[in-house]
Structure 1
């Protein structure tokens, strides 16, 4: 069995979170990214079941819808979100304290 030695912070660093930030800032960024992805998944259901418009149900339109839901999720997260990021950040910080 192979074990992987990684922490939430090492994973976050591999996903473009800057290494020069403090552990708390890194945790905040990772938590906000998580909340944004979660919201994007929840918002994607908003377009399910919508009828075809004058452009039809094309690949381009589906791609645009995907980008639109990601943008909505990012903006919701930037404006305070729904509280998931705060909970995730607390868990990330407490997990790091346990490791030390």
Structure 2
């Protein structure tokens, strides 16, 4: 009989969160930034494919957030790394 090890907690995107709270905060901030950029680009807007309506718009925004989370957690655009380095530097200065 093999022992069962606990599974690590996951985020909405299904990816295990980073162990370092500063890195996690930087990644979350990059995901929020990417969400806004994707919304500005028109991703997630209702196209009336499924009849449109408020429900489609609401679920579209959830989809955009999940996509932004996945982008940020799989390397992103480098913003999280820059933020992490700046936060780490500020932490050492204090």
Task: Tell me the TM-score normalised to structure 1 length.
Answer: 0.66
More helix by share: 1
Q: Deviation digits for residues 18-73 of structure 1, max 9, x if unmatched?
A: xxx5xxx11111100000000011011223876433512x1111111110100110
Q: 1:35–1:68: structure 2 CA closer, same or farther, 3 Å change rule?
A: same
The corresponding residue for 1:41 is 36
Give the Cα separation in 1 of the matches to 2:73 and 2:27. Answer: 8
Give the Cα separation in 2 of the matches to 1:61 and 1:85. Answer: 30
The corresponding residue for 2:24 is 29
Give the Cα separation in 2 of the matches to 1:54 and 1:68. Answer: 15
The corresponding residue for 1:92 is 87
- In structure 2, the gaps of 5 or more residues are 1-18
Q: 1:62–1:89: structure 2 CA closer, same or farther, 3 Å change rule?
A: same
The corresponding residue for 2:6 is none
List structure 1 segments (4+ residues) > 6 angstroms apart after TM superposition. Answer: none
Aligned length: 76
